[in-house]
Amino acid sequence: MTQATWRRWTDWPLAGLAVLFLVAYSWEVIGQLHGAAERVSETIEWVSWSAFAIDYVVSLVLAQPRWRWFYTHLIDLAIVALPVLRPLRLLRVAAAFTVLQRRTGTALRGRVIAYAIGAGLLLIYVSALAELNAEQARGHIKTIWQALWWSVVTITTTGYGDYTPVTATGKLIAVCVMFGGVALIGVVSATLASWIVERVVEDDEAETQVVTALELQELRDEIRALRLELERRSTDESG
C-alpha cells in the first residue's frame, strides 16, 4: 500500500473524528462536565487521539523517504501530541470544497487563502476553548463568549486588556495565539500582494501587445503606401 492510497482511505474518516473531537471538547469545556458525561467526552477524545496516532505512525512507515516526510510534516506530529490542534485536520479535507480556477498559480494562491481563512477561524475557536479551560477556575475568563472575544483581540494583536490570562497555561496559549495570528496575517498579505503584482504584470503585457499590434499595422500601411508609390512611378517612367 502506498501513502497516497492510505490518505485517500483515511482523510474523510479522520476529518469526521476531528469534528467529533471538537464537539466533545467543546461540550466538556463549556459544560464543565462531571461524572458520566465527562467520561463519555474523555472516551471520545481518547478514541480520536488513538486514530490520529495510528494514522501518523502508518503514514511515517509508508513515507519515502521517511526522514524527509518526518521533518516536512511536523504539523501532523503536533496534531497527535497537542489535543487542541486536532481540529486542524479539517483543513486538509476543506480543500475538497474549494472551487478554484484551473491555472496552477491561481489555484495554489486560492488554496493558500482558503487554508489561511480556515486556520484562522479554527484557531480563534479552539484557542478560546483552551483558554477557557485553563482560566475558568482561577482567571478572569469565565464564559465561552468572553473567551471568544479574548481570542479575537489576541489573534489580531489588538489586546484591549479587558480579559487577560493569569495562569501559566493561559499565558502560554496567548503567546501561541499571537504568533499564529501574525503568521496568518503575513500569509494572507503576501498572497494578496503577489496576486496584485500578477494582475499589474498581466495588464502591462496586454497593453504592450495592443501597442505592438497598432505599430505593426502602421508599419504595414506605410510599406503598402511605399509599394503603391513605387509602382506608380514605375508606370509613369515606362509610359
- The boundaries of the domain holding residue 14 are 1-90
The C-alpha cell 461524572 sits at: 35
Q: Is residue 173 part of a domain?
A: no
pLDDT for position 149: 93
Q: Is residue 72 part of a domain?
A: yes
Question: Which range is most confident: 5-19, 26-40, 79-93?
Answer: 26-40
Grid cell locating 140: 478572569
Q: Is residue 85 part of a domain?
A: yes
pLDDT for position 146: 93
Q: Is residue 9 part of a domain?
A: yes
pLDDT for position 4: 79
- What is the band of 101 on the pLDDT scale with cuts at 50, 70, 90? very low
Q: Is residue 70 part of a domain?
A: yes
- Number of domains present in the structure of the chain: 1
Overall pTM surpassing 0.75 (yes/no): no
Structural Rg of the chain based on CA atoms: 30
Q: Is residue 166 part of a domain?
A: no
Q: Name which of 90, 96, 14, 86 is nearest 55 in CA terms.
A: 14
Inter-CA distances, 169 with 132, 138, 189, Å: 11, 12, 30
pLDDT for position 150: 92
Is the pLDDT confidence value at 216 over 90?
no
Sign of the CA dihedral with 150 first, then 154, 156, and 162 last: positive
Residue 86 DSSP symbol: G
Is the pLDDT confidence value at 170 over 90?
no
Q: Is residue 32 part of a domain?
A: yes
Q: Is residue 237 part of a domain?
A: no
